[in-house]
Chains A and B, each alone.
Chain A
Amino acid sequence: MTGKTVVTGLGVASPNGLGTADFWDNTRSGKSGIGLVTRFDPTNYPARLAGEVPGFTAEDHLPGRLLPQTDRMTRLALAAADWALEDAGVRPAEIPAFDMGVVTASSSGGFEFGQGELQALWSQGSQYVSAYQSFAWFYAVNSGQISIRNGMKGPSSVVVSDQAGGLDAVAQARRQIRRGTPLVVSGAIDASICPWGWVAQLAGGRLSTSECVDRAYLPFDAAAAGHVPGEGGAIVVLESEESAVVRGAHVYGEIAGYGATFDPRPDSGREPGLRRAVELALADAGVEPGEVDVVFADAAAVPELDRAEAAALRAVFGPRGVAVTAPKTMTGRLYSGAGPLDLAAALLSMDAGVIPPTVNVEPVPGYDLDLVVEQRSTPVHCALVLARGEGGFNSALLVRSV
Chain B
Amino acid sequence: MTARRVVITGIEVLAPGGVGVDAFWDLISNGRTATRGITFFDASTFRSRVAAEIDFDPEEHGLSPQEIRRMDRAAQLAVTAARGAVRDSGIELADTDPYRVGVTVGSAVGATMSLDQEYRVVSDSGRLSLVDHTYAVPHLYNFLVPSSFSAEVAWAVDAQGPNTVVSTGCTSGIDSVGYAADLIREGSADVMIAGSSDAPISPITLACFDAIKATTPRDDDPATASRPFDGTRNGFVLGEGTAVFVMEELERARARGAHIYAEVAGYASRSNAYHMTGLRPDGAEMAEAIRVALDEARMNPEQIDYINAHGSGTKQNDRHETSAFKRSLGRHAYETPVSSIKSMVGHSLGAIGSIEIAASVLAMRHSVVPPTANLHTPDPECDLDYVPLTAREQRTDAVLTVGSGFGGFQSAMVLARPERTVT
- Which of A's residues lie within 8 Å of B, judged by CB? 40-41, 44-46, 69, 97-98, 101-102, 106-109, 111, 114-115, 117-119, 121-127, 129-131, 133-135, 138-141, 143-145, 147-148, 150-162, 165, 168, 172, 175, 192, 195-205, 260-266, 268, 273, 276, 335, 389-393
- The answer to whether B144 touches A152, judged by C-beta atoms less than 8 angstroms apart, is no
Give chain A residues whose Cβ lies under 8 Å from the Cβ of B160: 261-264, 273, 276
Residue of A nearest to B133 (CB): A199
- The answer to whether A115 touches B119, judged by C-beta atoms less than 8 angstroms apart, is yes
Q: Judge if B204 is at the interface, Cβ distance under 8 Å.
A: yes
- The answer to whether A134 touches B214, judged by C-beta atoms less than 8 angstroms apart, is yes
Q: In whole angstroms, how far apart are the Cα atoms of A335 and B272 in the complex?
A: 28
Q: Judge if B219 is at the interface, Cβ distance under 8 Å.
A: no
- The answer to whether B270 touches A126, judged by C-beta atoms less than 8 angstroms apart, is no
Give chain B residues whose Cβ lies under 8 Å from the Cβ of A45: 133
- The answer to whether A118 touches B163, judged by C-beta atoms less than 8 angstroms apart, is no
Closest 3 CB pairs of A and B: A144-B407, A123-B126, A122-B126
Q: In whole angstroms, how far apart are the Cα atoms of A139 and B171 in the complex?
A: 12
Give chain A residues whose Cβ lies under 8 Å from the Cβ of B66: none
Q: In whole angstroms, how far apart are the Cα atoms of A288 and B358 in the complex?
A: 44
Give chain B residues whose Cβ lies under 8 Å from the Cβ of A148: 273-276, 408
Q: In whole angstroms, how far apart are the Cα atoms of A383 and B206 in the complex?
A: 47
Q: In whole angstroms, how far apart are the Cα atoms of A124 and B268 in the complex?
A: 43
- The answer to whether A203 touches B138, judged by C-beta atoms less than 8 angstroms apart, is yes
Q: Judge if B9 is at the interface, Cβ distance under 8 Å.
A: no
Segment at the interface with A among B29-37, B109-117, B248-256, B297-305: B109-117
- The answer to whether A135 touches B204, judged by C-beta atoms less than 8 angstroms apart, is no
Give chain B residues whose Cβ lies under 8 Å from the Cβ of A165: 147, 164
Given A144-B407, A192-B144, A175-B186 contact (CB < 8 Å): yes
Contact with A along B271-290 (1 / 0, CB 8 A): 11111110000000100100
Residue of B nearest to A266 (CB): B155
Known A154-B270, A168-B164; further 20 A-B contacts with Cβ < 8 A: A97-B273, A107-B147, A123-B125, A126-B46, A129-B211, A133-B211, A138-B169, A140-B409, A144-B271, A144-B276, A153-B270, A159-B166, A159-B167, A162-B147, A203-B136, A203-B140, A203-B144, A266-B155, A390-B148, A392-B151
Q: In whole angstroms, how far apart are the Cα atoms of A108 and B143 in the complex?
A: 9
Q: In whole angstroms, how far apart are the Cα atoms of A201 and B140 in the complex?
A: 8
Give chain B residues whose Cβ lies under 8 Å from the Cβ of A117: 204, 207-208
Tell me the B108-164 residues at the A interface (CB within 8 Å): 108-110, 115-116, 119-120, 122-123, 125-127, 129-133, 136-141, 143-148, 150-151, 154-155, 158-164
- The answer to whether A196 touches B164, judged by C-beta atoms less than 8 angstroms apart, is no
Q: Judge if B212 is at the interface, Cβ distance under 8 Å.
A: yes
Contact with A along B205-228 (1 / 0, CB 8 A): 011111110100000000000000
Residue of A nearest to B156 (CB): A265
Q: In whole angstroms, how far apart are the Cα atoms of A201 and B119 in the complex?
A: 14
Contact with A along B257-274 (1 / 0, CB 8 A): 000000000001111111
Residue of B nearest to A130 (CB): B211
- The answer to whether A144 touches B169, judged by C-beta atoms less than 8 angstroms apart, is yes
Which of B133, B161, B276 has a CB less than 8 Å from the CB of A145? B276
- The answer to whether A196 touches B98, judged by C-beta atoms less than 8 angstroms apart, is no
Give chain B residues whose Cβ lies under 8 Å from the Cβ of A205: 138, 141
Give chain A residues whose Cβ lies under 8 Å from the Cβ of B271: 101-102, 143-144, 147, 152-154, 156
Give chain B residues whose Cβ lies under 8 Å from the Cβ of A102: 271
26 A-B residue contacts at CB 8 Å?
A107-B145, A108-B144, A119-B126, A119-B129, A129-B210, A133-B208, A134-B212, A140-B168, A144-B407, A152-B273, A153-B270, A153-B272, A154-B270, A154-B271, A158-B168, A192-B144, A196-B119, A198-B133, A199-B133, A203-B139, A261-B99, A262-B102, A266-B155, A389-B145, A390-B141, A393-B147
Residue of A nearest to B138 (CB): A203
Given A122-B126, A138-B109, A200-B144, A393-B163 contact (CB < 8 Å): yes
- The answer to whether A200 touches B408, judged by C-beta atoms less than 8 angstroms apart, is no
- The answer to whether A139 touches B208, judged by C-beta atoms less than 8 angstroms apart, is no
- The answer to whether A200 touches B406, judged by C-beta atoms less than 8 angstroms apart, is no
Give chain A residues whose Cβ lies under 8 Å from the Cβ of B268: 155
Residue of A nearest to B170 (CB): A140
Q: How far is the CB of B235 from chain A (nearest CB, A)?
A: 13
Q: Judge if B236 is at the interface, Cβ distance under 8 Å.
A: no
Give chain A residues whose Cβ lies under 8 Å from the Cβ of B272: 153
Q: How far is the CB of B218 from chain A (nearest CB, A)?
A: 18
Q: How far is the CB of B83 from chain A (nearest CB, A)?
A: 14
Give chain B residues whose Cβ lies under 8 Å from the Cβ of A106: 167
Q: Judge if B52 is at the interface, Cβ distance under 8 Å.
A: no
Q: Judge if B175 is at the interface, Cβ distance under 8 Å.
A: yes
Give chain A residues whose Cβ lies under 8 Å from the Cβ of B203: 121, 126
Q: Judge if B103 is at the interface, Cβ distance under 8 Å.
A: yes
- The answer to whether B45 touches A126, judged by C-beta atoms less than 8 angstroms apart, is yes
Q: In whole angstroms, how far apart are the Cα atoms of A168 and B188 in the complex?
A: 13
Residue of A nearest to B270 (CB): A153
Residue of A nearest to B284 (CB): A153
- The answer to whether A122 touches B120, judged by C-beta atoms less than 8 angstroms apart, is yes
Give chain B residues whose Cβ lies under 8 Å from the Cβ of A196: 119, 122-123, 131
- The answer to whether A119 touches B141, judged by C-beta atoms less than 8 angstroms apart, is no
- The answer to whether B123 touches A119, judged by C-beta atoms less than 8 angstroms apart, is yes
Q: In whole angstroms, how far apart are the Cα atoms of A11 and B131 in the complex?
A: 33
Give chain A residues whose Cβ lies under 8 Å from the Cβ of B186: 175
